[in-house]
Amino acid sequence: MAAEITLDAILHRIGHHGRVDAGPETLSALHRSWRTAVPYENLDIQLGRTISLDPDALFDKLVRRRRGGYCFEQNAGLALLLRLAGFGVTMVEAAVMRAARGEAMWGNHNALLVDLDGHRWLADAGIGDGFLEPLPLREGPQVQGNLTYRLERLDPDTWRFHHQPGGTIASYDFRLQPREIAHFAARSRELSTAADSAYVTTLMAARPIAGHTLLLLSRTLRRLGPDARTSRTIGDVDEFAATLSTQFLVPLDDLGRDGVARLWAKSGTQDDLWRARVGTGP
């Protein structure tokens, strides 16, 4: 039997204890709390599990089981939270790296538009090192802390989000037409199962921490920030398990009895292939 989907359960999951009303301060607080509490991760894809965008399945995974997910899951979950909190939310189709790779990128991402007091905001929890708080939907630079993003209107119905310099992506485009999460089901199946998909070929996890983003790609742990970028290789399976659990807040029991061992082995193969491509030694 599916667990009842409630606002209180989601607020508890993300550790939000403040006031909840349909105002800009609450919008920013909920977005920030979601981003810091619900990790971006593709571990189920790495384990060969089916990704479901059904609301009950998403609530079970992201809230009850305290897991994370990748872009489609993240923004469907965030939309559920914001709607329960009383916000008007429109899910839209997006295209990561369309500027460089063209029209085929449409549908490889989703984003959210939130209408509030006659203004629109861009919300997005589906980029691992993305913005912590929603961005006003207006052209020009958008400063959060010591990071600067930029929004550009390409035509009456299409906008481009420019990531902060040094981000994991350069940009993504998004259209204003409303979409339901079901619109992304086929593309999600493709991206979560195709042999050449980055989500299949590379274990990923990301989480913002203290002004930086921790990013795990296979066995390489990176710390991304405006003042420094560092990286190191995880040395053994115990460190790998501890990193998933403490840094990315992944409940290891939910990965299955041998889940950590399987992920460790797979990440090693991926790491070896990456090093062979770039010509670096162990």
Which residues are annotated as catalytic? 71, 109, 124
Cα gap 51→53, rounded to integer Å: 7
Quickly list H helices, the chain.
Answer: 7-14, 24-37, 43-46, 55-58, 71-84, 98-101, 185-193, 198-201, 237-242, 259-278
Residue recorded with tokens 């305290």? 66
Nearest-5° angle of CA 243, CA 246, CA 247? 65
- The 3-state DSSP class for residue 107 equals coil
Q: DSSP letter string over 196-221?
A: T-HHHHS-EEEEEETTEEEEEETTEE
Cβ neighbors of 250 (< 8 A, separation 6 or more) are 39, 41, 43, 67, 68, 205, 244
